[in-house]
Amino acid sequence: MLRLPSHNQRFHLLLRNLSSFASKTTIFMTSKHFLPSPLLPQTLSPKHFSTPTKRLLPSLSSKPIPKNHSFSLRTNGFCSLPSPSVSSPSPDLEDQPSDTRSLQILNHKLKQLGIDITECVAGRENRLKCPSCNGGESGELSLSLFISLDGYSASWLCFRAKCGWKGYTKAAADGKPSIENLGRVNKVKVTRQITVESLQLEPLCNQLTAYFAERMISSETLKRNAIMQKRSGDEIAIAFTYWRNGELVNCKYRDIVKRFWQEKDTEKILYGLDDIEDASDIIIVEGEMDKLAMEEAGFRNCVSVPDGAPPSVSKKEVPAEEQDTKYQYLWNCKEYFKKASRIILATDGDLPGQALAEELARRLGRERCWRVKWPKKNDVDHFKDANEVLMYLGPSVLKDVIDNAELYPIRGLFNFSSFFDEIDQYYHRTLGYEFGVSTGWRALDDLYNVVPGELTIVTGVPNSGKSEWIDALLCNLNEGVGWKFALCSMENKVRDHARKLLEKSIKKPFFGVGYGSNVERMSVEELEKGKKWLSDTFQLIRCENDSLPSIQWVLELARAAVLRHGVQGLVIDPYNELDHQRPVSQTETEYVSQMLTKIKRFAQHHSCHVWFVAHPRQLHHWIGAPPNLYDISGSAHFINKCDNGIVIHRNRDPDAGPVDLVQVCVRKVRNKVVGNIGDAFLSYDRVTGVYNDIDESQKK
């Protein structure tokens, strides 16, 4: 159980804590990530230094802790964060003294989270293995746990950048511990002044120089960047010195197992900061070794971040400068970026590295950022970072990677070069449907072809056959190229719409009476086959209650139909059956423009052709001629914004010609590759609802 000091012991313990606080000078880090800790494990004896070797040697911190120190730690062995179970402390705790009872309740709550405090000391920082990340690959003691002297509360924080688990709980709180913002940990920070002498740094030994040589880093580069070493007893660590204006600001250490730690209470800055003073081009990498690798390729205008990469991009807005603690090193160096016109983000190629690049771009400005593409290692993998490229491919390839850096993408801003592959496919006609899909009627082949991702407005006076013609078109497209469709047809009952589609597909009447009394009716077998065809080809978008559907509601369901069923066409029939509520300050013209923009974006994004049926306004003094697209009720935007505009017109005067003659007036075609303005004539079979081509003599 946690050792709770008496009142006198607490007083002396506080004095010792204040004294020891100043003596703790080092900070542990996992690989490229911030991780404070008071000690490093002793892993090697002096015999490891008796024979020269090219392998990097491990190290201790600058202030090793004796084995008999009262600061006793024990790892808890958790590899992942367990789900807290809802249970209560045992009833006998009520009979315990107040301090002991609260401490036992606190212990009980922390155990639910996988935090074992049996060997922790109240009133000071305790180091444990984090149950959330298990200390990373190296199993470090990355969890900082502080328990108040009275045992009533505990706060914790994992200093691994890829974890960052933190929380705060009280013994008096009900239920499971609450995760809160830690304002008590490292609240007041005093910046230390350090020098090479005060840190007892020394030049690199032959073993470490050989280690860098294996990674293709020369002695000249090591000397220019003041790479040093630090001894602690018989152990040694690499020291990466952080300078600004010639003064030592921070120092970061690395041991043989690639564990990193920094000097405590020092200012966070970029590594190699003096190399980018007044630079117009700046390269940012993820680690000190990558910075040295860049210099071997001829780039000195390079800096490295001190704390590695985050696991993912934050979903929150970039915080204010004083609150942006994770990236405070950028704000501390902001003056160095004022003259930079190009910032090349050469972070690691893994997901955390990409997340780091995005976080840097958010703060430095995407408009002046560039990014690199690391070369392929094989058919599947890419090289991870600059030092790996230097080691395996050499400095010339690394230089080419930087020289060929690409503009960092800005959402909504593109260059034609990003679409060259698609342009080539379009030219060689390998995309499919470059000239559109034939409607199935020869008379329309030169006028109107269906292109995925376009919007076609269809209009005509009432009872001219707009919906019938679209249904016939869908049947032709399904028969010709196998397209599937989503139907939002508010004017048709489902059974009536099914009858019309089946008659056009089977080319026989649904009923054998009335309009179909003189023709053979479709058989039961044909009906069953037709029902399967309906199920495979069409999805219905219908409002199941009395409310009117909005265009947003229709498009959301159409998107689901595209993703789930692979539909390539959407029919919205008609416009006046939708809910068109709009703000009082918005005119109908503005509303129609906004609505059509939404439909076009849906069509383009999902490569889905949309047919939108809109009725013309009431025509005064109509003499039987086809209406114009500008006659559509609501707004001229119907013709202005559509890709194709079609008017369906049927002859009603027997003296003017056959009453089964249907005129398809193509009044707008935006893409000249797939059509042209003109008229086509089809004959309509009233029994089956089928539209057929007619020859020129019939047309006359």
Mean pLDDT of 124-139: 85
384 and 460 share one domain: no
339 and 249 share one domain: yes
**Closest Cα partner for 534 from 563, 503, 570, 488?**
503
Q: Is residue 674 a part of any domain in this protein?
A: yes
pLDDT class of 371 with cuts at 50, 70, 90: very high
pLDDT for position 18: 37
What is the helix (H) or strand (E) element at residue 282, kind and residue range? strand 281-285
List 251's β-bridge partners, or say none. Answer: 241
Res 697 pLDDT > 50: no
- The structure tokens listed for 298 are 């001829």
Q: Is residue 28 a part of any domain in this protein?
A: no
pLDDT class of 185 with cuts at 50, 70, 90: very low
Distance, CA of 695 to CA of 79 (rounded, Å): 79
Q: Is residue 414 a part of any domain in this protein?
A: no
The vertex-372 CA angle with 368 and 373, nearest 5°, equals: 150
- The structure tokens listed for 447 are 């006028």
Residue with tokens 């958790």: 78
Mean pLDDT of 328-334: 93
157 and 217 share one domain: no
Distance, CA of 128 to CA of 637 (rounded, Å): 67
pLDDT class of 98 with cuts at 50, 70, 90: low
671 and 550 share one domain: yes
Residue with tokens 């919205």: 572
Mean pLDDT of 476-490: 95
pLDDT class of 80 with cuts at 50, 70, 90: very low
Q: Is residue 412 a part of any domain in this protein?
A: no
Res 28 pLDDT > 50: no
Distance, CA of 575 to CA of 583 (rounded, Å): 18
List 664's β-bridge partners, or say none. Answer: 648, 680
With contact defined as beta carbons under 8 Å apart, do 645 and 612 qualify? Answer: no
- The structure tokens listed for 387 are 């030092």
Where among 128, 154, 170 does a domain terminate? 170
Which one has a higher pLDDT value, 372 or 172?
372
pLDDT for position 620: 62
- Rounded to two decimals, what is the model's pTM? 0.57
pLDDT for position 671: 94
Distance, CA of 242 to CA of 226 (rounded, Å): 9
Distance, CA of 611 to CA of 485 (rounded, Å): 11
- The structure tokens listed for 287 are 């680690």
pLDDT for position 518: 82
146 and 275 share one domain: no
With contact defined as beta carbons under 8 Å apart, do 216 and 390 qualify? Answer: yes
pLDDT for position 97: 53
pLDDT for position 575: 86
493 and 637 share one domain: yes
DSSP per-residue codes, 160-200: -TTT--EEEEETT--SSPPP----STT-S-PPPP--TTTTT
* Range with the poorest average pLDDT among 183-197, 300-314, 564-578, 684-698: 183-197
Per residue in 2-27, pLDDT tens?
Answer: 444 444 444 344 334 434 444 444 44
Domain, as residue range, for 135: 99-170
Res 174 pLDDT > 90: no
pLDDT for position 512: 84
pLDDT class of 175 with cuts at 50, 70, 90: very low
351 and 469 share one domain: no
pLDDT for position 504: 94
**Closest Cα partner for 75 from 160, 133, 153, 4?**
133
Res 634 pLDDT > 80: no
470 and 396 share one domain: no
Q: Cβ of 394: how many Cβ atoms within 10 Å?
A: 13
468 and 399 share one domain: no
Per residue in 110-124, pLDDT tens?
Answer: 888 889 888 888 888
354 and 310 share one domain: yes
pLDDT class of 139 with cuts at 50, 70, 90: confident
pLDDT for position 656: 73
Residues of the chain with pLDDT > 70: what percent? 82
Distance, CA of 342 to CA of 605 (rounded, Å): 32
Mean pLDDT of 288-311: 95
Total domains present in the chain: 3
Q: Is residue 403 a part of any domain in this protein?
A: yes
Ranked by mean pLDDT, which of 76-85, 170-179, 525-534 comes out on top?
525-534
Res 599 pLDDT > 90: yes
Mean of per-residue pLDDT scores for the chain = 82
392: DSSP letter: H
Res 67 pLDDT > 70: no
| CATH number, domain with residue 591 | 3.40.50.300
Q: Is residue 435 a part of any domain in this protein?
A: no
551 and 623 share one domain: yes
pLDDT class of 161 with cuts at 50, 70, 90: confident
pLDDT for position 619: 67
* Range with the poorest average pLDDT among 130-139, 328-337, 390-399: 130-139
| CATH number, domain with residue 364 | 3.40.1360.10
pLDDT for position 552: 92
Q: Is residue 357 a part of any domain in this protein?
A: yes
Per residue in 350-362, pLDDT tens?
Answer: 999 999 999 999 9
Q: Is residue 31 a part of any domain in this protein?
A: no
Distance, CA of 25 to CA of 262 (rounded, Å): 9
Which one has a higher pLDDT value, 177 or 263?
263
Per residue in 230-245, pLDDT tens?
Answer: 988 788 999 999 999 9
pLDDT for position 99: 59
Which one has a higher pLDDT value, 37 or 616?
616
292 and 247 share one domain: yes
Which one has a higher pLDDT value, 92 or 338?
338
